[in-house]
Structure 1
Amino acid sequence: MSHRPERLAEAIKQEVSDLLRDEIKDPRIGFATITGVDVSSDLKYAKIHVSILGNADVRGQAMTALKKATGFIRTELGRRIRLRHVPEISFKLDESLDHGDKVLKLLDEVSSNDA
């Protein structure tokens, strides 16, 4: 077993976070956070999990903007990470933070009803 996919996933996460913060100026992206990256064992594909602050409409616009910027992001990854073949990247909306927030609200509601 190689640790290379894990190391590449962490490098991609760091570089894409830097790109979103510093390089990409599209206002539709807003408050997007890279929560994780899954890289296939053959290093050909990378799925980037993104958490976006806002309602469903804002998230949809941000995902559209990210998909439109995929070519630029992939080109920059190739320059910054120095790979022979840069993986094909895709973005996936990560809704786990919303789910956790919903669970916390339900727990607070239950505890306030008991008191």
Structure 2
Amino acid sequence: MILACSLLTGDTTLIIPSLLFIGIFVGVMKKATMNEVLLTALIGFIIGSIIAFIVSLVTVYYTEGGLYAIAVIQYSVFYIVFYVIVGCIGSALGYHVREEIDNRG
């Protein structure tokens, strides 16, 4: 829901750290190779971003109208790509954190 609100308002002050944390959590939880962790994060964040985009688009269409919905479509594409990249960076960081934890023990 945070992602849908961010797509509606264009405010990224809360969403970027949240997505980075979720990506780190995915990287720590997934016990696999780096490629599998990144693929899992990529698929997960793409699906989540598309669902959030649809929710925000429907909300805007019914509250503001069709013209505002077109504007949301135009600037949401950039944010969806940006959020997926941030999530994948977070999962890569989480993978390296898990590797360091495993190597210490």
Q: Which TM-score bucket, shorter chain as reference?
A: 0.3 to 0.5
Higher helix share: 2
Higher strand share: 1
TM-score (norm 2): 0.39
Structure with bigger gyration radius: 1
- Which one has more relative contact order, counting CA pairs under 8 Å at least 6 apart? 2
